[in-house]
Amino acid sequence: MFKLFKTKSQVNICAPVSGKIINLENVKDEVFSTKMMGDGFAIEPMEANNIVSSPVKGKVVSIAETKHAVGIQTNDGKVEILLHIGLDTVNQKGEGFKALVKNGDRIESGQPLIEYDRVLMKKKGYDMVTMVIFTKPLNESIDLVKYEGQNINAGDHILNV
């Protein structure tokens, strides 16, 4: 039969960590707050967090040598996401971070990707805000203003793109 209407496929984006949602504009780093790397949102993790999970089903396309950032592409290739863990954590040169996946791995939404030493990061004074950045331009803008300040759990649905 003929398809008269094309259905627009959507990708469900889930929280990679438990914590409080913050608009990207409120992140204390100009690279993220001015959206130089792309649109998205951030989560201020709860004190007990030390695992960052995948917000989508897809494939790991890059893991920073320092293990503080992971690039993910959805299975359909339409959405590319950068998960960036903490501000200035690149300066740790990988110390305190452990990759639980490798480049090329197929992943499920909610699957643990990176584990970090919460105590070490706190002792060194790092802000562990976790950014979810859409690095491939989206057809729509991300509007999470209504969620600003709300607490969420890792794996909770946040939005569709």
* CATH code, domain carrying 82: 2.70.70.10
CA gap 104, 89 in Å, rounded: 24
Q: Is residue 22 part of a domain?
A: no
SS3 146: helix
Q: Which of 46, 47, 52 is nearest to 14 (CA)?
A: 52
The total number of structural domains that make up the chain: 1
d(CA 132, CA 44) in angstroms, rounded, equals 11
Residues annotated as part of the active site:
84
Residue 98, in any domain of the structure: yes
Q: What is the pLDDT along the chain (161 residues), one digit of tens a residue?
A: 444 444 456 788 999 999 999 999 999 999 999 999 998 999 999 977 799 999 999 999 999 999 999 999 999 888 999 999 999 999 999 999 999 999 999 999 999 999 999 999 999 999 999 999 998 766 666 666 667 788 999 999 888 87
Query: At residue 128, what are phi and psi to the nearest 5 degrees?
Result: -95, 25
- Is residue 73 assigned to a domain? yes
- Domain membership flag for residue 42: yes
Q: Is residue 149 part of a domain?
A: no
Provide the pLDDT for residue 148.
Answer: 79
Amino acid at 24: L
| Structural domain range at position 92 | 27-139
For residue 127, is it within any domain? yes
State the Cα–Cα distance between residues 37 and 141, nearest whole angstrom: 14
Residue 54 in domain: yes
In a domain, 78, yes or no: yes
